[in-house]
Structure 1
Amino acid sequence: MIEKMRFLNITGPKGDIDRVVDTYLSRYEIHLENALSELKTVKDLRPYIEVNPYKEELARAGVLMERYGNLLPEHCGGSISLEKAVEVIRELDGRLKELTARRDELADQRNELQESRDRVAPFIGLNYNVKDILKFQFIKFRFGRISREYYEKFSAFVYDTIDAVMFKCEEETDYVWVVYFVPQKLADKIDAIYASMHFERCYLPDEYEGTPVEAGHVLDSRIRERQSQIDQIEREIQEYVSSRKEELTAAWNRISSFSTNYDVRKLAALTKHDNHNFYILCGWMTEGDAKSLQKEVENDEDTFCIIEDDHDNIMSSPPTKMKNPGLFKPFEMFVEMYGLPSYTELDPTIIIAVTYSVLFGFMFGDAGQGLCLLIGGYLLYRFKKLRLAGIISCCGVFSVIFGLLFGSVFGFEDLLEPVWLRPQQAMTDLPFIGRLNTVFVVAIAIGMGIILMCMVFNIINSLRSHDVERTYFDTNGVAGLVFYFALASVVVLFMTGKPLPAAFILVVMFVIPLLIIFFKEPLTAFVEKKSEGIEGGVGMFITQGIFELFEVLLSYFSNTLSFVRVGAFAVSHAAMMQVVLMLAGAEAGGSVNWGIVIGGNLFVCGMEGLIVGIQVLRLEYYELFSRFYRGSGRAFEPYGKAVQQR
Structure 2
Amino acid sequence: MAIEKMKLVRTYGLIDHLDEFITSCCISGDFHPENAMDYISDSLGFVPLNEENPYSSSIQKIEEIASIAGVTLKDTFKGDEIIVDSDEFGYIDSLKEKLSESFAKRTEISDKLKEVEASAEQFNHFVGIDVPIEELLSCEFLKVRFGSIPKDCYPKLKAYENNNLFVFLESSVDEKSHWGIYSAPRAQIDEVDRIFASLYFDRIRIPFSTGTPKEILTKLNAEKEKLTAELNKIDTEIADFWAENSEHCEQVHAYLEIASLAFDLRRYAAKDSDSDYFIYVGWVPKSSYKWFKKKIEQIDGVTFEDADPEQEKRSSPPVKLNNKKPFRPFEMFVEMYGLPSYGGVDITPFVAITYSLLFGIMFADFGQGLVLAIGGYLVYKIKGTKLAKILVPCGMSSAFFGLLVGSVFGYEELLDPVYHAIGLPGKPLSVMDSINTVLILAIGIGVALVIVSMGLNVFCSLKNKKPGEALFSTNGVVGIILYATLVCAVVGFMSGKTVLPAGVTVIVAVVCILLLFFQEILIGMVDKKENYMPEKWSDYIMQNFFEVIEYILTYFSNTVSFLRVGAFVLVHAGMMMVFSSLAGDEYSVGGIISMIFGNIIVIALEGLLTGIQVLRLEFYEMFSRFYAGDGKPFNSVGMRKNRSVFFSIKNVFKPSTPEDNENVVIKVKK
TM-score of the two chains, using structure 1 as the length reference: 0.79
2:428 to 408, 413, 421: 421
Residue 244 of structure 1 deviates from its aligned partner by 0.8
Residue 446 of structure 1 deviates from its aligned partner by 3.9
Q: Which amino acid aligns with 2:51?
A: E
Name the SS for the 1:297 alignment partner.
helix
Separation (CA, whole Å) in 1 of partners of 2:106 and 2:204:
34
Corresponding position: 1:628 with 2:618: no
Residue 292 of structure 1 deviates from its aligned partner by 1.3
Structure 1 unaligned segments of length 5 or more: list them.
Answer: 428-435
1:616 to 608, 614, 617: 614
Q: Which amino acid aligns with 1:36?
A: M
Residue 574 of structure 1 deviates from its aligned partner by 3.5
Residue aligning to 1:353 = 352
Alignment of 1:474-623 (within 5 A): 474-478=473-477, 524-528=523-527, 534-535=533-534, 559=558, 563=562, 565-571=564-570, 573-582=572-581, 584-585=583-584, 593-594=591-592, 597-623=595-621
Higher relative contact order (CA 8 A, sep 6+): 2
Residue aligning to 1:642 = 640
Residue aligning to 1:281 = 280
Residue 643 of structure 1 deviates from its aligned partner by 4.3
Residue aligning to 2:664 = none
Corresponding position: 1:236 with 2:250: no
CA RMSD after TM alignment = 4.9
String of CA shifts for 1:599-638, please: whole Å, max 9, x gaps: 5545554554444434433332233212321111122223
String of CA shifts for 1:336-370, please: whole Å, max 9, x gaps: 33222112222212211111111221232221232
Separation (CA, whole Å) in 2 of partners of 1:607 and 1:566:
16
Separation (CA, whole Å) in 2 of partners of 1:506 and 1:141:
98
Residue 113 of structure 1 deviates from its aligned partner by 4.4
Alignment of 1:419-458 (within 5 A): 421-424=428-431, 438-439=437-438, 442-458=441-457
Contact 2:583 2:590 in 1 (8 A): yes
Name the SS for the 1:226 alignment partner.
helix
Separation (CA, whole Å) in 1 of partners of 2:367 and 2:22:
55
Name the SS for the 2:41 alignment partner.
coil
Contact 2:513 2:548 in 1 (8 A): yes
Contact 1:331 1:353 in 2 (8 A): yes
Corresponding position: 1:465 with 2:464: yes
Residue 119 of structure 1 deviates from its aligned partner by 5.5
Contact 1:261 1:640 in 2 (8 A): no
Q: Which amino acid aligns with 2:400?
A: I
Residue 214 of structure 1 deviates from its aligned partner by 4.7
Contact 2:466 2:527 in 1 (8 A): no
Structure 1 stretch 220-229 or stretch 394-403: which is displaced more?
A: 220-229
Q: 1:348 to 1:128 in 2, by over 3 A?
A: same
Corresponding position: 1:21 with 2:22: yes
Separation (CA, whole Å) in 2 of partners of 1:262 and 1:604:
52
Contact 2:143 2:186 in 1 (8 A): no
Contact 1:370 1:397 in 2 (8 A): yes
Contact 1:518 1:545 in 2 (8 A): yes
Q: 1:289 to 1:380 in 2, by over 3 A?
A: same
Contact 2:296 2:302 in 1 (8 A): yes
Residue aligning to 1:431 = none
Q: Which amino acid aligns with 1:175?
A: H
Separation (CA, whole Å) in 2 of partners of 1:446 and 1:191:
84
Q: Which amino acid aligns with 1:633?
A: G
Residue aligning to 1:363 = 362
Residue aligning to 1:75 = 76
Alignment of 1:240-251 (within 5 A): 240-251=241-252
Q: Percent identity?
A: 33
Residue aligning to 2:271 = 270
Q: 1:36 to 1:540 in 2, by over 3 A?
A: closer
Residue 375 of structure 1 deviates from its aligned partner by 3.4
String of CA shifts for 1:263-307, please: whole Å, max 9, x gaps: 22332211121xx32222222232233331221120211323332
Contact 2:126 2:171 in 1 (8 A): yes
Structure 1 stretch 118-127 or stretch 338-347: which is displaced more?
A: 118-127
Separation (CA, whole Å) in 2 of partners of 1:376 and 1:618:
24
Contact 2:491 2:499 in 1 (8 A): no
Separation (CA, whole Å) in 1 of partners of 2:486 and 2:377:
42
Contact 1:534 1:541 in 2 (8 A): no
Residue aligning to 1:313 = 312
Corresponding position: 1:94 with 2:97: yes
Name the SS for the 1:257 alignment partner.
helix
Separation (CA, whole Å) in 1 of partners of 2:53 and 2:76:
26
Residue aligning to 2:254 = 253
Structure 1 stretch 619-628 or stretch 549-558: which is displaced more?
A: 549-558
Name the SS for the 2:31 alignment partner.
strand
Structure 1 stretch 247-256 or stretch 409-418: which is displaced more?
A: 409-418
String of CA shifts for 1:575-609, please: whole Å, max 9, x gaps: 5544543454469x999855654455455545544
Name the SS for the 1:46 alignment partner.
strand
Residue aligning to 2:9 = 8
Name the SS for the 1:637 alignment partner.
coil
Separation (CA, whole Å) in 1 of partners of 2:581 and 2:103:
68
Contact 2:124 2:217 in 1 (8 A): yes
Residue 333 of structure 1 deviates from its aligned partner by 3.0
Q: Which amino acid aligns with 2:625?
A: R
String of CA shifts for 1:231-250, please: whole Å, max 9, x gaps: 22222211111111111112
Structure 1 stretch 527-536 or stretch 96-105: which is displaced more?
A: 527-536
Q: Which amino acid aligns with 1:20?
A: F
Contact 2:478 2:515 in 1 (8 A): yes
Contact 1:145 1:176 in 2 (8 A): yes
Residue aligning to 2:660 = none
Q: 1:510 to 1:600 in 2, by over 3 A?
A: same
Separation (CA, whole Å) in 2 of partners of 1:170 and 1:68:
44
Residue 403 of structure 1 deviates from its aligned partner by 0.9
Corresponding position: 1:205 with 2:170: no
Separation (CA, whole Å) in 2 of partners of 1:441 and 1:115:
71
Residue 639 of structure 1 deviates from its aligned partner by 2.7
Q: Which amino acid aligns with 1:634?
A: K
Q: 1:119 to 1:621 in 2, by over 3 A?
A: closer
TM-score of the two chains, using structure 2 as the length reference: 0.76
Separation (CA, whole Å) in 1 of partners of 2:491 and 2:117:
87
Structure 2 unaligned segments of length 5 or more: list them.
Answer: 646-670
Separation (CA, whole Å) in 2 of partners of 1:91 and 1:64:
10
Q: Which amino acid aligns with 1:70?
A: V
Contact 2:405 2:431 in 1 (8 A): no
String of CA shifts for 1:132-183, please: whole Å, max 9, x gaps: x49979776747356594898599645xx69x9x896942343344597x9x
String of CA shifts for 1:17-48, please: whole Å, max 9, x gaps: 33432343221243222211222366211121
Contact 1:86 1:255 in 2 (8 A): no
Residue aligning to 1:295 = 294
Separation (CA, whole Å) in 2 of partners of 1:547 and 1:156:
81
Contact 1:474 1:517 in 2 (8 A): yes
Structure 1 stretch 91-100 or stretch 609-618: which is displaced more?
A: 609-618
Q: 1:243 to 1:472 in 2, by over 3 A?
A: same
Separation (CA, whole Å) in 2 of partners of 1:124 and 1:518:
88
Residue 331 of structure 1 deviates from its aligned partner by 2.3
Name the SS for the 1:76 alignment partner.
coil
String of CA shifts for 1:490-544, please: whole Å, max 9, x gaps: 9999x99xx99999x9999999988876775565555456787853799998998
Q: 1:129 to 1:34 in 2, by over 3 A?
A: same
Separation (CA, whole Å) in 2 of partners of 1:193 and 1:475:
82
Alignment of 1:42-61 (within 5 A): 43-61=44-62
